[in-house]
């Protein structure tokens, strides 16, 4: 096995000093707090969103110093830095002609701070990913469960603190984070509670995105499952297929009814622009705006000021194009391409954090077809997505290859226990 002496000097540091431990707790608390701090009422407060970033930045700067600004990912993946700088440049320039200049400028500040934090915080997260994700999952599940039990009557959609679709997006991220919990019983409790609350939101995109995320995660972890679990999964799948075939005449008549009922496709009480026909009309308006302002857009985070899109475009990709033009889209595509490529490479080497991150992004990209923003710092889910896109490469010296990667034996075989774990850490 490659010894710890091969790890680069920057990552050979203990990073287990009291101030580092406190910062890791603060990261989990920060992600959890955004759920409740940004909008405690019906209207989103941009001021509170700024506060949610302002309180953690000073401590992170005091703890990490230059490492907060000069993140490892920028050195090992320079394309990521170029994509971020290009996107911020486009966002800043768009403020000059934005339909809502003040909103665009404030969101540029938030986005810049978010990029810095999501890249720099990896300096203390590496080797402790399970801790940070597990704490966030437990804290946020407990908080949302308390609100759910005290405010939700069981009638209608769960929308006590936010729009149901926003709560669904948050729960989608918590489900992904819960996969990092090592204690089986605690993981099952968090997953069960989150999935039940997710169903109560009736957020169709979040529910389907969660199924997609869990399917991707199962596929990525299939090789590491015990043989008994694999056979059980195979026989269960075959059994379901057999039952479906045997009752094909029943399913032929009831699948449409089941889908319509489960996703509330004909529910008149879901709100404005909630059905698919209304969404496609919003997409048509957004696409027309993209064609008209295809080069520079209409201003960062200002697409809901465009005539006809006061209720947002309900499509993160069209919203990004309409706001920042083709240059913003190209910069963000490069950022996602660089991050996903790195996550795929690390997933193939058996790194558990990368598998969770890749699964999260797969589901998130689907959800963005129906929700308003691709880049957003108003939910912990969106922040986790960006953090995983800025994940650093495994901390080793030498070329990045299967034969010389931290966590591999000399013959190239993966030692899953040593990946990203220079020190043993507990889940909570």
**Termini Cα distance of the chain:** 28
Lowest mean pLDDT among 81-95, 204-218, 262-276, 335-349: 262-276
pTM score, whole prediction = 0.84
* Residue 428 vs residue 373, higher pLDDT: 373
pLDDT (0 to 100) of residue 99: 93
* Residue 324 vs residue 225, higher pLDDT: 324
Average pLDDT, the chain: 82
Q: Rounded CA gap, 332 and 297, in Å?
A: 14
Asked if residues 319 and 371 have their Cβ atoms less than 8 Å apart, the reply is: no
pLDDT (0 to 100) of residue 160: 81
Q: What are the extents of the domains in the chain?
A: 15-232+273-395
pLDDT (0 to 100) of residue 12: 41
Q: Which residues, other chains included, contact 385 with Cβ-Cβ below 8 Å and sequence gap of 6+? A: 173, 360, 361, 364
Lowest mean pLDDT among 26-40, 104-118, 254-268: 254-268
Per-residue pLDDT at 418 exceeds 50: no
CA distances in angstroms from 238 to 218, 230, 242, listed in the order given: 17, 12, 6
pLDDT (0 to 100) of residue 11: 47
* Rounded mean pLDDT, 10-24: 73
Q: Which residues, other chains included, contact 120 with Cβ-Cβ below 8 Å and sequence gap of 6+? A: 60, 64, 67, 68, 69, 71
- Dump pLDDT digits (tens) for 86-132: 999 999 999 999 999 999 999 999 999 999 999 999 999 998 999 99
Per-residue pLDDT at 76 exceeds 80: yes
Asked if residues 343 and 353 have their Cβ atoms less than 8 Å apart, the reply is: no
Residues in the chain, how many? 428
* Rounded mean pLDDT, 400-412: 34
Q: Rounded CA gap, 300 and 306, in Å?
A: 12
Q: How confident is the model at residue 2 (pLDDT cuts 50, 70, 90)?
A: very low
Share of the chain above pLDDT 90, in %: 57
Lowest mean pLDDT among 239-253, 304-318, 368-382: 239-253
Sequence-distant contacts of 188-194: CB under 8 A, at least 24 apart: 189/141, 190/137, 190/138, 190/141, 193/141, 193/144, 193/145, 194/141, 194/144
- Dump pLDDT digits (tens) for 324-371: 999 999 999 999 999 999 999 999 998 999 999 999 999 999 999 998
């Amino acid at each position: 096995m490659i010894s710890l002496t091969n790890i680069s000097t920057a990552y050979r540091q203990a990073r287990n000093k009291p101030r580092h431990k406190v910062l890791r707790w603060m990261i989990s608390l920060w992600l959890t707090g955004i759920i409740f701090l940004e909008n405690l009422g019906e209207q989103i407060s941009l001021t509170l969103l700024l506060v949610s970033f302002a309180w953690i930045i000073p401590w992170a700067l005091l703890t990490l110093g230059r490492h907060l600004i000069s993140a490892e990912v920028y050195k090992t993946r320079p394309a990521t830095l170029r994509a971020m700088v290009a996107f911020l440049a486009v966002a800043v320039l768009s403020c000059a002609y934005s339909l809502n200049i003040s909103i665009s400028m404030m969101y540029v500040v938030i986005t810049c701070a978010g990029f810095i934090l999501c890249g720099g915080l990896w300096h203390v997260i590496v080797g402790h990913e399970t801790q940070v994700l597990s704490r966030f999952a437990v804290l946020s599940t407990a908080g949302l469960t308390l609100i759910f039990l005290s405010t939700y009557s069981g009638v209608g959609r769960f929308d006590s603190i936010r729009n149901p679709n926003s709560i669904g997006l948050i729960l989608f991220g918590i489900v992904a984070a819960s996969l990092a919990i090592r204690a089986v019983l605690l993981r099952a409790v968090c997953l069960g509670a989150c999935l039940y609350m997710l169903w109560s939101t009736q957020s169709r995109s979040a529910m389907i995105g969660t199924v997609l995320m869990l399917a991707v995660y199962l596929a990525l972890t299939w090789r590491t499952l015990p043989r008994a679990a694999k056979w059980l999964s195979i026989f269960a799948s075959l059994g379901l297929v057999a039952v479906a075939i045997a009752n094909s005449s029943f399913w032929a008549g009831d699948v449409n009814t089941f889908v319509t009922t489960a996703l509330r496709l004909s529910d008149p009480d879901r709100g404005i622009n909630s059905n698919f026909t209304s969404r496609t009309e919003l997409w048509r308006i957004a696409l027309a705006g993209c064609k008209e302002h295809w080069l520079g857009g209409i201003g960062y985070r200002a697409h809901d000021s465009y005539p006809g899109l006061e209720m947002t475009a309900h499509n993160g990709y069209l919203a990004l194009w309409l706001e920042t033009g083709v240059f913003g889209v190209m910069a963000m595509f490069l950022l996602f391409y660089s991050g996903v490529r790195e996550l795929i490479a690390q997933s193939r080497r058996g790194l558990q954090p990368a598998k969770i991150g890749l699964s999260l992004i797969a589901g998130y990209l689907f959800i963005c077809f129906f929700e308003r923003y691709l880049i957003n710092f108003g939910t912990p889910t969106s922040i986790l997505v960006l953090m995983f896109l800025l994940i650093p490469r495994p901390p080793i010296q030498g070329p990045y290859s299967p034969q010389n990667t931290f966590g591999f034996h000399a013959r190239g075989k993966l030692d899953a226990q040593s990946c990203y774990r220079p020190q043993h850490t507990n889940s909570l």
